[in-house]
Amino acid sequence: MKKFLSLLSTIALLALLSSCWSSIQPNASALCDSVLYDYDPNENIFYINAELMNPASKGASETGMNTSADLILKGKGKSPESAYEDISSALERRLLFSHNKARFISERLASDKFALESLFDFILRGATSDERALLFVVKNEDIENFYKSETGLQKLLGDYIDGLSKVQPEESSKGIFKNTLDFIKESGEVGREPVLGVLSVTKTDLKGSGNRGGGEPAEKSKEKFLLKAEGGAVFKNGVFTGYLNDKESVYYNILSNRSAFSTAEITTGGISATVGLYRPKTVIKAEIVNGNLEVNITVNARLRIV
Instruction: Tell me the pLDDT band of 70, cut-offs 50, 70 and 90.
Output: confident
Residue 112 in this model has a pLDDT that exceeds 90:
yes
Output the pTM of the full model: 0.82
Q: What is the pLDDT of residues 160-195, one digit of tens each?
A: 999 999 999 888 899 999 999 999 999 988 888 899
Residue 267 in this model has a pLDDT that exceeds 90:
no
What is the mean predicted confidence (pLDDT) over 80-94? Answer: 89
Q: How far apart are CA 14 and CA 1, in angstroms?
A: 20
Buried b or exposed e, range 206-220, using 16+ CB within 10 angstroms: eebebbbbebeeeee
The predicted pLDDT at position 273 comes to 86
CB atoms within 10 A of CB 171: 12
Instruction: Tell me the pLDDT band of 51, cut-offs 50, 70 and 90.
Output: very high
Residue 274 in this model has a pLDDT that exceeds 50:
yes
Instruction: Tell me the pLDDT band of 254, cut-offs 50, 70 and 90.
Output: very high
Instruction: Tell me the pLDDT band of 129, cut-offs 50, 70 and 90.
Output: confident
The predicted pLDDT at position 220 comes to 46
Residue 158 in this model has a pLDDT that exceeds 50:
yes
